[in-house]
Amino acid sequence: MALSETAEKAIAAYGGATLWQNAKRLEVEVSATGLAFVLKLRPFFRHSRIVEEVHRPYSSLTPIGHDPGISGVLEGPDVRLEDGHNRILSERRNAREYFTIGRRLFWWDDLDMAYFANYASWNYFTLPALLMREDIAWSELRPGLLQARFPESVPTHSRVQQFKFDLDTGRLIQHDYTAEIISPFAMASNVVLNHAKNADGLVYPSERRVTPRGLAGEPLPLPVLIHLKLHDYRLINS
């Protein structure tokens, strides 16, 4: 697979191709607030723990709701709730099909949130690996700006998305998409506010802000739909 100059620079900025090709799991501690939670009557995430597989859509977020012992798990197109002993409490196959009209316009249950939060975080946090996936069609629109066309097999916000990177550092600046399960008009800009280094020296986007996207493609200042802060970020090779 031939990588564009922007993709190569971005992968190098976040640890390099070899690191991500060999990585198995990703462990993240995250807090998230914002209007998107309020509108769906969901509690904020406060130092929640996420465990993800790097090379396939699998993500587990604990706690997913008010009960600190219940995890929301995404595996491919499906979601489930598990207790602290990995026992399945409930599950929903092909979860995306449920986001149509009805009560999801007004509130989400734990399985709804498990689908949205897990696929979104898996996309955000495994980005260097996504850049090397052959089932995603990447194109460089101009230096520093990549467009991705995701296959149906990858749960994500929208099939076509754009990623803007700093030309000098290769670090992600902005990620644009439409959050289709919320609305076909939910055009959003996910702006990286800060980067950090973990204990192993790995650089990662540590703070993001999601707001609506204007007609010219610019991120609007308000409302803040999601404010995301990572407290820890670790790659595991086993």
Question: Which parts of the chain are beta strand (E)?
Answer: 25-33, 45-53, 58-62, 71-75, 78-82, 88-92, 137-142, 145-149, 160-165, 172-178, 187-197, 203-212, 226-236
DSSP state for residue 11 in the 8-state scheme: H
Q: Domain for residue 234, yes or no?
A: no
Q: Domain for residue 238, yes or no?
A: no
User: b or e along 126-140 (b: 16 or more beta carbons within 10 Å of the residue's beta carbon)?
Assistant: bbbbbbbbeeeebee
The answer to whether the beta carbons of residues 219 and 213 sit under 8 Å apart is yes
Question: pLDDT in tens for each of the 238 residues of the chain?
Answer: 689 999 999 999 999 999 999 999 999 999 999 999 999 999 999 999 999 999 999 999 999 999 999 999 999 999 999 999 999 999 999 999 999 778 898 999 999 999 999 999 999 999 999 999 999 999 999 999 999 999 999 999 999 999 999 999 999 999 999 999 998 899 999 999 999 999 999 999 999 999 999 988 899 999 999 999 999 999 999 7
Residue 138 token pair: 């990447």
Its pTM stands at 0.96
Q: Provide CB contacts within 8 A for 212, sequence distance 6+.
A: 186, 187, 188, 189, 219, 220, 223, 225
**Judging by DSSP bridges, how do beta strands 25-33 and 45-53 pair with one another?**
antiparallel
Looking at the 3D structure of the chain, how many domains does it have?
1
Residue 117 token pair: 């939060």
80: CATH: 2.50.20
What distance lies between CA 108 and its chain's CA centroid? 18
Q: Domain for residue 235, yes or no?
A: no
Q: Which domain holds residue 192?
A: 5-229
Q: Domain for residue 172, yes or no?
A: yes
Q: Domain for residue 236, yes or no?
A: no
Q: Domain for residue 60, yes or no?
A: yes
Q: Domain for residue 26, yes or no?
A: yes
Q: Domain for residue 70, yes or no?
A: yes
